[in-house]
Structure 1
């Protein structure tokens, strides 16, 4: 609309700020309702009821939870948008009020159209002062030449009130123009914040949320710029202090328009990071689903089976069918088209199957960069007495995160049963790009080198956000032991009390003392049938003329990345694990993944809860 003085004078930013508070309150209520549905009502049903009726009810409750999450997110955006609109209009209103006050002090009269009438004044000529006049509405010239000409005209005019009126008219015009631009900017953004007229939150709805978020974030730069900024160094302690210094309203605004940044901030409360990352997850999952659906539409499934042709006779074998090469190629392309969708669905499944507060999942990190990353805690790490952070190894990707979460869950459940007087949070930390091949990537330490700082910041952040004292354990598996070892080696002040190293090809040090926590708190185990026992010594030691090097190849302590942590030479502690399945009995090296069962799981749980196996 066309802005005029009366409209801008009557504008009350407080009314829009109160409306923003109302939307924020609705957002908070929707978030609390989603929490109640997921972690109380649905969890109670899963714990007590079975059968088709229970499945049907849980299905409807999942839909209700999605609705609440959608309401929570969109109402938070509406709150931020209204605050942004009130901020922009309030700034224009203040400029107008200041100009009107200055006009009154200068004995000038402002017309309803923004014109300024100024009185007579200046040096008298023939006993008469230069006459007054009226300056038409205007705005400050943006062109330097025009601005210079305007100043020259004011300086040459015999009535000094002419220049004052000119400046006042421009200031009033600027305020009105600023208000009009704010109105035009925010009107479509606010109109876009509306849902479909149905009760189904679809993938398309969540992609619209992302579009809404981008729009509100861009439009609210002025408002967000007025809020306290996150620390430039991004340290966990700095992040925590910044977050605590924000009002609940400001925290809500940051969560609404910067969920990806807030979710990745080490040192912030787990609940805040979880809320932010779940929004990012829903947006990414919906986008991936729509892309996958589009791919399926453009690539219809070919006929799967074709008659088997005997290669010797070249004739069909009656009744024998095999998968066609065309279908195999299509199936391979289909799996590729899903991207990280399998992993995203696995994470969501954790929220959909939670059975109580003790095993409630918290999404502490999520993105789809490179191979994708996810950090999932079973239990609240801010309040748990024991916190264990598990770093997976070779072959880990976002799509395979379900197995890593299963490991974290198994250890958390076992630790809670072993020490019911103290709570345990178990974290699967896939915050790095893991190597993908045993004989290729895994022989290069660059993946661990790149993971050291992210893991350090995460562990420091967990310690920073924790309420009270905590017993912290870092658990590495396979190549993840190298990540854990390098991180502990290079950061003497890392807040880690215990280390567990299983299925390790070496941890980047020759002795347990080099991990900076005391050799008596470094625990290692490798199953007898784990092929990681065949990890070669460091590159370059097998010189043809060095017989000692060949002896070391078969010695039990020289492995790829330093001494074997289960050897006497390493100087740490060991614990018992089962031999595991034989190689090739269930995949290439099944024993390498059997540390989360039997004696091994029991012993790890003892360490995590402060005991000794």
Structure 2
């Protein structure tokens, strides 16, 4: 046991050093992963031996029937079994705590720490199953934390079921207790390690694991549209619920960029990590909707997110990215923008970002990416018929719509087809303020 504890301590020091070092190379990351997995395996073996030993003790005592076939002996047996039950719970609790700490450690290095997507799915599903079983098979009072994990586990499970309607669903990230119980998860439809095209979808306000966003069909619709656009190429769409979004449009955070900047850092790590395990070339598109577009812009402008193309829909502003050039895409890459003229959220962009005196708070989310001079390619995104303002804001991923049709072209690596398909749109003018798209009725029945 002392040797094992020494090995554990050495592995912990190695992990801490690697984390402090910032993972300067893929080799650092692989070393961290190997040490953590070896440590986990050692801990699991120790736990198994402890349980086997307890089981042997119980079997030995119970086999001696004469020793407890009296009132006194029966009482002693009850005390003995109660003590062993406590010992078993201690072993199991310790094992679960160890598993959670390792999950947190690996996540702190970024989800793409060199582990293939299918292996990440296997490990995360085991943790998810444990969160569900712990409540369903509880023999004592359920803690608030366990109940919170259970509720979010069930929402993730629902998201996996919805995603599996179109293709293999992989649970790439799972932390049901993150962000004060809002949860953190990422589900891939299709395997991002082998896909020709990988798209990462980042949602906005009022989207979280807790709120059931993973069961929404947005990612499913993007995946199907990309597959229909180019049936000869494989696709993966990752629904990334990996940051603390504003709780609603009435949350004060929705007008401040702080959550977008923090989320942008995490998003950049996760997107860049896709290259670590991908086999062969891939076209990577990152889509941000609503406040998620601000997060995507910050990930590219400030944290080095590497993507071939970026799509911003329903954007309230791009914060640290003041123009398309600030995304630092490759020469062949583009920033694409979908902004319905009926969507009030998109009219928030372009307003001054105002610092609040005596605080570090900034109000306002920056430039309007649909404006003339920003440098983006705007595509048609109007809603057919009469639409309420909020319906316009939530319709970018609806099947047969202008926006989803255009997104299909971009996500499949065919953004150049927008012009050929007559799906490009004129930019907004700032002075005098005018949106040419207001003069055009939205159209439907767009299908590849």
TM-score normalized by structure 1?
0.49
Of 321, 328, 335 in structure 2, the residue corresponding to residue 522 of structure 1 is: 335
Corresponding residue number in structure 1 for 2:406: 603
SS at match of 1:476: strand
Would you say the 8 A contact 2:353–2:365 is kept in 1?
A: no
Measured at CA, do residues 245 and 338 of structure 1 come closer, stay the same or move farther in structure 2, by a change above 3 Å? closer
Deviations 1:384-412 (A, max 9, x none): 11111111111112123445652112111
SS at match of 2:340: coil
The yes-or-no answer on 1:414 pairing with 2:225 is yes
Measured at CA, do residues 404 and 498 of structure 1 come closer, stay the same or move farther in structure 2, by a change above 3 Å? farther
Measured at CA, do residues 345 and 380 of structure 1 come closer, stay the same or move farther in structure 2, by a change above 3 Å? same
Corresponding residue number in structure 2 for 1:309: none
Corresponding residue number in structure 1 for 2:255: 443
Of 546, 558, 573 in structure 1, the residue corresponding to residue 377 of structure 2 is: 573
Deviates more, 1:469-478 or 1:432-441: 432-441
Of 271, 276, 289 in structure 2, the residue corresponding to residue 477 of structure 1 is: 289
Deviations 1:29-82 (A, max 9, x none): xxxxxxxxxxxxxxxxxxxxxxxxxxxxxxxxxxxxxxxxxxxxxxxxxxxxxx
* Cα drift, residue 611 of structure 1: 0.5
**Matches of 1:580 and 1:287 in 2, distance apart?**
48
The yes-or-no answer on 1:363 pairing with 2:171 is yes
Deviations 1:512-541 (A, max 9, x none): 111111596100011222221342722449
Deviations 1:103-142 (A, max 9, x none): xxxxxxxxxxxxxxxxxxxxxxxxxxxxxxxxxxxxxxxx
Of 185, 194, 203 in structure 2, the residue corresponding to residue 383 of structure 1 is: 194
Would you say the 8 A contact 1:473–1:496 is kept in 2?
A: yes
**Matches of 1:425 and 1:608 in 2, distance apart?**
10
SS at match of 2:406: helix
- In structure 2, the gaps of 5 or more residues are 45-97, 356-362, 419-448
SS at match of 1:377: strand
Would you say the 8 A contact 1:580–1:591 is kept in 2?
A: no
Measured at CA, do residues 582 and 242 of structure 1 come closer, stay the same or move farther in structure 2, by a change above 3 Å? farther
**Matches of 1:581 and 1:255 in 2, distance apart?**
61
Corresponding residue number in structure 2 for 1:346: 155
Of 531, 535, 538 in structure 1, the residue corresponding to residue 352 of structure 2 is: 538
Aligned ranges 1:106-505 → 2 under 5 Å: 221-225=5-9, 229-230=14-15, 231-232=18-19, 233=21, 235=23, 237-238=26-27, 240-242=29-31, 250=38, 253=41, 258=99, 260=103, 261-262=105-106, 265-268=111-114, 269-287=116-134, 339=148, 341-352=150-161, 359-367=167-175, 368-369=177-178, 370=180, 371-403=182-214, 406-439=217-250, 440-492=252-304, 494-505=305-316
Would you say the 8 A contact 1:262–1:273 is kept in 2?
A: no
- In structure 1, the gaps of 5 or more residues are 1-84, 92-219, 296-333, 542-558
Would you say the 8 A contact 2:159–2:214 is kept in 1?
A: no
Measured at CA, do residues 284 and 580 of structure 1 come closer, stay the same or move farther in structure 2, by a change above 3 Å? farther
Would you say the 8 A contact 2:314–2:338 is kept in 1?
A: yes
More RCO (CA 8 Å, sep 6+): 2
**Matches of 1:384 and 1:495 in 2, distance apart?**
17
Of 390, 408, 420 in structure 2, the residue corresponding to residue 589 of structure 1 is: 390
The yes-or-no answer on 1:512 pairing with 2:324 is yes
* Cα drift, residue 294 of structure 1: 6.2
Deviations 1:547-594 (A, max 9, x none): xxxxxxxxxxxx9422211111212101112326756x5xx7122111
* Cα drift, residue 506 of structure 1: 0.8
Larger Rg: 1
* Cα drift, residue 605 of structure 1: 1.3
* Cα drift, residue 265 of structure 1: 3.9
TM-score normalized by structure 2?
0.65
* Larger proportion of helix: 1
Would you say the 8 A contact 2:256–2:365 is kept in 1?
A: no
Would you say the 8 A contact 1:528–1:580 is kept in 2?
A: no
**Matches of 1:497 and 1:294 in 2, distance apart?**
50
**Over aligned residues, Cα RMSD in angstroms?**
3.6
**Matches of 1:500 and 1:387 in 2, distance apart?**
13
SS at match of 2:217: helix
